[in-house]
């Protein structure tokens, strides 16, 4: 059952071939057997999941079921989940039990989904490999010596490994799309403001956005439909109407203009990854799309801009974790200053400390104009490049990552090399645009992702293009063997 789509499972539930409880128990058994190797979950909520499954079976029996009722999924451990530990993969929140649900969790729960548990991630979503987690790294199901990507690495590994049907994630600089590419699943980051950030623990408030990781674009459309929409509790939530994403999946691609940025196909891109991406583009041409060369001249500035803006915002957002109100508190502090210093020093890992220090420096007197203000100015130039590009093309495409998944530990001593793994994804967040990664032909047995970037609120277009590609190919159907 773990290799079926949401639509297939929903049909099986309605036809009473199996119950939601049986389906949930199937996934819980797989988690118990396989996850000690993958480490994709931080918390498995067995009792909560079985209770939700029984409730879903009741709704199905009463004829009150929707397309997601009874479907088992997991939430990235950055979303607050009432009564379940929400740790953000940090010692700082290791003992924190959320008192309420995030809006994304709440809306999905309203459809009758079953929450299997909380997935592993980089600590406070800061990382590109899932190696900064307090609970140890998640592992890539295709090769357990390699990273699954990050920060939503646990969600990607769980979906790819058949430990849930789908999982939520968050994307601040590529943290849904990059692990989706490295694990061979579909991942979408919607337009900034499309999904509420209320109850999602903040890293960089102007960049963070909730999204999903699934086996297919069709599944992603169903989940995004339930998650998206205005939320008055989130001041950055968009009032834009949410279309029926599933209704447009089969639209014809004839005349679709695809833009290929020269900056995404230059030095640093693995030859095998480029060949795989171009093979997928050829399939889209067969479906009626046309390819156009474009330029995003300020794209090379994305990484340095991001690593000023994001740390500055994280420095502010993480100031609340001080050992006083909730979270880790040091033993026997001598005074208030000692409480603050030791609680934060003990509670945060090295990467989080590094970004807090960088962000505090960039915001400090005498450096604000030179660093933070300049970065925000460059951010506008990057967004302007996209605006001009979308006057010429409908969708922008390229590789999601410059290479396939690297080995665990290969980049932990070189933060800059780690940061460059997001070189193709960061600009999308800086501009607030939707982005999607779909699996294409593997290289040496490892997954490769094709990235699709759309104009503001064009998630439906991206899902349509991805779905038509997945109808014409079977790359997204490939699955890794269960670890021994």
Residues classed as catalytic: 76, 151, 175
For residues 300 and 382, what is the distance between their CA atoms, to the nearest angstrom? Answer: 9
For residue 134, what is the DSSP state?
T
Token duo for residue 215: 């086996």
Contact 152, 160 (CB under 8 A): no
Strands 395-399 and 186-189: unpaired
Residues constituting the chain:
484
- Helix extents (H) in 364-452: 374-389, 415-419, 426-431
DSSP string, 432-467: T--EEEEEEEEETTEEEEEEEE-STT-HHHHHHHHH
For residues 204 and 243, what is the distance between their CA atoms, to the nearest angstrom? Answer: 27
- Phi and psi (nearest 5°) for 141? -60, -20
For residues 339 and 30, what is the distance between their CA atoms, to the nearest angstrom? Answer: 42
For residues 444 and 272, what is the distance between their CA atoms, to the nearest angstrom? Answer: 9
Q: In the sheet where 446-453 sits, what is the strand order?
A: 41-44, 114-119, 72-76, 166-170, 210-214, 186-189, 435-443, 446-453, 395-399, 257-261, 290-294
Token duo for residue 158: 């769980």
* 151 preceded by a cis bond (ω within 30 of 0): yes
For residues 367 and 467, what is the distance between their CA atoms, to the nearest angstrom? Answer: 47
Contact 208, 170 (CB under 8 A): yes
Q: C-alpha distances in angstroms, 279 versus 258, 426, 477?
A: 14, 24, 17
For residue 260, what is the DSSP state?
E
Helix (H/G/I), strand (E/B), else coil: 128 = coil
Contact 145, 103 (CB under 8 A): no
């Amino acid at each position: 059952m773990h290799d079926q789509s949401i639509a297939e499972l929903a049909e099986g539930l309605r036809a009473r071939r199996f119950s939601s409880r049986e389906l949930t128990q199937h996934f819980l058994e797989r988690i118990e057997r396989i996850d000690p190797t993958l480490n994709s979950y931080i918390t498995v909520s067995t009792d909560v999941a079985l209770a939700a499954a029984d409730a879903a079976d009741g709704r199905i029996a009463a004829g009150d079921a929707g397309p997601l009722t009874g479907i088992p999924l997991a939430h990235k451990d950055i979303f607050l989940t009432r009564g379940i530990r929400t740790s953000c993969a940090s010692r700082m929140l290791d003992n924190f039990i959320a008192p309420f649900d995030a809006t994304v969790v709440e809306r999905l729960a309203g459809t009758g989904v079953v929450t299997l548990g909380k997935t592993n991630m980089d600590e406070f979503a800061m990382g590109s490999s899932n190696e900064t987690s307090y609970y140890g790294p998640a592992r890539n199901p295709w090769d357990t010596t390699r990273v699954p990507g990050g920060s939503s690495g646990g969600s990607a590994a769980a979906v790819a490994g058949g430990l849930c049907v789908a999982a939520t994630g968050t994307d601040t600089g590529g943290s849904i799309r990059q692990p989706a590419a490295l694990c061979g699943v579909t991942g979408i980051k919607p337009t900034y403001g499309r999904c509420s950030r209320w109850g999602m623990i903040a890293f960089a408030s102007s960049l963070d956005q909730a999204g999903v990781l699934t086996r297919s674009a069709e599944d992603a459309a169903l989940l995004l439909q339930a998650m998206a929409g205005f939320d008055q509790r989130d001041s950055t939530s968009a009032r834009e109407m949410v279309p029926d994403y599933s209704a447009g999946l089969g639209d014809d691609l004839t005349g679709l203009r695809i833009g290929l940025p020269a900056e995404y196909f230059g030095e640093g891109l693995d030859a095998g990854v480029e060949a795989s991406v171009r093979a997928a583009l050829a399939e889209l041409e067969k479906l009626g799309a046309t390819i156009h060369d474009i330029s995003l001249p300020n794209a090379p500035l994305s990484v340095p801009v991001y690593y000023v803006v994001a740390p500055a915002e994280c420095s502010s957002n993480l100031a609340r974790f001080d050992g006083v109100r909730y979270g880790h508190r040091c033993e026997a502090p001598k005074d208030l200053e000692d409480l603050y210093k030791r609680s934060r020093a003990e509670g945060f890992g090295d990467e989080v400390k590094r970004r807090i220090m960088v962000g505090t420096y960039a915001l400090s007197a005498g450096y604000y104009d030179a660093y933070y203000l300049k970065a925000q100015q460059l951010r506008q130039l990057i967004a302007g490049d996209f605006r001009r590009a979308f006057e010429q093309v409908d969708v922008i495409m390229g590789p999601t990552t410059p290479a396939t998944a690297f080995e665990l530990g290969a980049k932990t001593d070189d933060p800059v090399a780690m940061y460059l793994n997001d070189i193709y994804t960061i600009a999308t967040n800086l501009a607030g645009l939707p982005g999607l990664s779909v699996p294409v032909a593997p290289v040496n047995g490892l997954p490769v992702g094709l990235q699709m970037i759309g104009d503001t609120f064009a998630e439906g277009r991206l899902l349509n293009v991805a779905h038509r590609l997945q109808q014409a190919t079977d790359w997204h159907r490939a699955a890794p063997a269960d670890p021994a």
